[in-house]
Structure 1
Amino acid sequence: MDQIFEIDCERKTPKYIQIINSVTKSIKQGKLKKGDRILSINELSAAFYLSRDTVQKAYDLLEDRGIILPVRGKGFYINRTDVTGSYRVLLLFNKISNYKKLVYNSFVETLGKDAVVDIKIHHSSGKIFENLMDTYKNDYDYYVVMPHFYENADDAFKIIKKIPADKLILLDKELDDTNENCAAVYQDFKTDIITALESGKHLLIKYRKLVLVFPKITHYPNEIALGFKKFCIQHNFEYSVIPEIAQDTFVDAQEAYIIIEETDLVSLIKICRNKKLVIGEDVGIISYNDTPLKEILLDGITVVSTDHSQMGETAALLIMGNRREKIKNPFKLIIRESL
């Protein structure tokens, strides 16, 4: 009987999800039929060296879905076999980027190969989002929405309010007054930048001025700029906010730059090289979003970054566990030689 269970301790997928997937897969393959007994909690725990709490969590979720039925004094039995084992999910992202790909890949991997996951891009436009929801409003079990809207935002928020809370997951950004009962995996953009800069304050104090490069052409949450300004005011830093690093941007010693766009990062490094300004000594750099390249560039670029893979995984686990929680995604400052 334990052969129906495929539990791999090396996989990122939580073990309770692997138990659920093993049962539903065996039902679909005909290995388990209605009325068949499966291992008890103690038996499964002993067979795979799992904690009882892990097995209990999996069995509770299987029972909630009506897939298994506990019989007092006898054990657990298969209750229904009309199980697809899959979720139909529509991801509605504002744009595609390397970081969004990390979210997507982790989300799909955690849900498993039986899930159907489609992705559409609303380009931060409320009208495009409205058209997408009109087209696909009855086609999916879950709608995972990144609610970054900069055109016709009110239209988009009205549509989001109409999505049933048990089918909606907000991703990357939480909305204060929209579908309070829905799940969310979010960043707190204002608080995150303040907390990150405070953790690096001991290095920032050697610079005379802090500069946030906040693009106007590409939209980013305005809370980032608000948090940056609040930090500078609270700690008496001279500061400025500029839209880009151009070829003629004046860069001076004793300035530290917080960079969002990688094109601005490249431009700043070029200017520093031309002016023979030493990065990490004369000029400080903090870049948004970590990448393998930033780990080695200039012996390491200091970054502020959320865990994009964690965001995708957490969203998938909310679906698989039928949970309506609001979870703040991890965000931190990683200090390297550029500061």
Structure 2
Amino acid sequence: MPMYKQIVWEIKNKIEKGHFHFNDKLPSINNLSAGYNLSRDTVEKAYTLLNKEGVVESVKRRGYFVKNANPISKVQIMLLFDQLSDNKRAVYNSIIEELKEVADVYLYVYQADIDTFNKLIIENLHRYHYYMVVPHFRNEERKLVKRALQILPKEKLILLDRKLDYYDNCLGNIYQDFENDVYETLQENISLVNKYKKLTLVFPEGSPFTYPEGILSGFVKLCKANGIKYEVISEINEQFAIVKGEAIITIEDNDLVKAIKQLKLTDFKLGEDFGILSYNDRPLKEVLYEGISVITANFVEMGKEAARMIKEKKGSLTRNSFMLIRRNSF
């Protein structure tokens, strides 16, 4: 067997056995020729054949990387969510779809518990090639979060959904800018907002799943900038009154359902006499009460961007898109 074919076989064998994985950089032509005491031409011929067969790819000025092989060589990804909501499922499904040919994705959920978060990271250290983490915690827990994240190799860590001011040492970060997302999106649709004489934000307190303060500050910023009468409450209860000409913004589905139930006790028309705007989209909101208007991040896009970072081996700090989807209720 010619020497260049022996090199081809050996590299394929190492990929099969898991010594090299998808996206791993292979030894340079110079290093390989020196290690085997071969000419550069022989090694280059081997890499050319591997490239032609689709096993490796050549990246200009960077070298050769594993492109494809059997499932053993697929890149292994740990995906760590705070909860498995509809929005997180959209992110997960998007990542799976984009990486289905080249990666195995393993999903873990820490249920907004810092001890579970730490335990999962420690138990899975060095088991994966990449770690995608959604770090939703209270401010008082940020030191613990930072300590846990620092355990992970920074070049293998991608943060999703949240931008941590106290931790930016990672490969990539696709984040929501909660305050500006709310403010800018509603400002762009101020003519719809101005249909109502008062806005009420239902911002939950005491939930095990924390909601970013930026949602609240963005809402207040909008109302003050436009002279809008507003109120912030923690929940919709029996004392909450549906008032003609007003509107509410709900975050939790439980409050959305309560508002609709109370609205049904009146003769008001939703979207005209009373408005409802919900935070974050989900399939049910498309059909509930002829359609609930939402302000929402594009979670499919978030998953695609995370997958792109892995496929291109290049991270970035990326603000995820946010939009208002107008339906019947607002």
TM range (shorter): 0.7 to 0.9
Partner of 2:59: 60
In structure 2, C-alpha distance between the alignment counterparts of 1:135 and 1:293, rounded to whole Å: 36
Unaligned runs of 5+ in 2: 1-21, 24-45
Partner of 1:107: 95
8 Å Cα contact 2:94/2:304 also seen in 1: yes
Matches within 5 A, 1:105-184: 105-150=93-138, 152-184=141-173
Partner of 2:302: 311
8 Å Cα contact 2:163/2:173 also seen in 1: yes
* Alpha-carbon displacement from aligned partner over 1:247-297 (angstroms, at most 9, x marks no partner): 332221121111111121111111111022211111111111223332233
* Alpha-carbon displacement from aligned partner over 1:94-130 (angstroms, at most 9, x marks no partner): 1111111111111112111442211222222322222
Q: Kindly report structure 1 stretches of 4+ aligned residues shifted beyond 6 Å.
A: 80-83
Partner of 1:325: 316
RMSD: 2.8
- Percent of counterpart pairs with the same letter? 35
Paired residue type of 1:302: S
Matching of residue 263 in structure 1 with residue 254 in structure 2: yes
Q: 1:332 aligns to what SS in structure 2?
A: strand
Unaligned runs of 5+ in 1: 1-19, 22-32, 45-57, 69-79
Matching of residue 285 in structure 1 with residue 285 in structure 2: no
* Alpha-carbon displacement from aligned partner over 1:77-105 (angstroms, at most 9, x marks no partner): xxx98995411111111111111111111
Cα deviation, residue 298, structure 1: 3.1
In structure 2, C-alpha distance between the alignment counterparts of 1:61 and 1:296, rounded to whole Å: 50
8 Å Cα contact 1:303/1:333 also seen in 2: yes
Partner of 1:189: 178
The alpha-carbon distance between structure 1 residues 133 and 293, as it changes in their structure 2 partners (threshold 3 A), is: closer
In structure 2, C-alpha distance between the alignment counterparts of 1:120 and 1:295, rounded to whole Å: 29
Partner of 1:94: 82
8 Å Cα contact 1:165/1:179 also seen in 2: no
The TM-score normalised by the length of structure 2 is 0.78
Matching of residue 252 in structure 1 with residue 243 in structure 2: yes
8 Å Cα contact 1:213/1:244 also seen in 2: yes
Paired residue type of 2:268: L
Partner of 1:36: 49
Q: 1:271 aligns to what SS in structure 2?
A: helix
Paired residue type of 2:297: T
Count of residues in correspondence between the two structures? 282
Cα deviation, residue 134, structure 1: 1.5
In structure 1, C-alpha distance between the alignment counterparts of 2:66 and 2:175, rounded to whole Å: 32
The alpha-carbon distance between structure 1 residues 322 and 295, as it changes in their structure 2 partners (threshold 3 A), is: same
8 Å Cα contact 1:284/1:338 also seen in 2: yes
Q: 2:59 aligns to what SS in structure 1?
A: helix
8 Å Cα contact 1:34/1:81 also seen in 2: no
Max Rg structure: 2
Paired residue type of 1:264: D
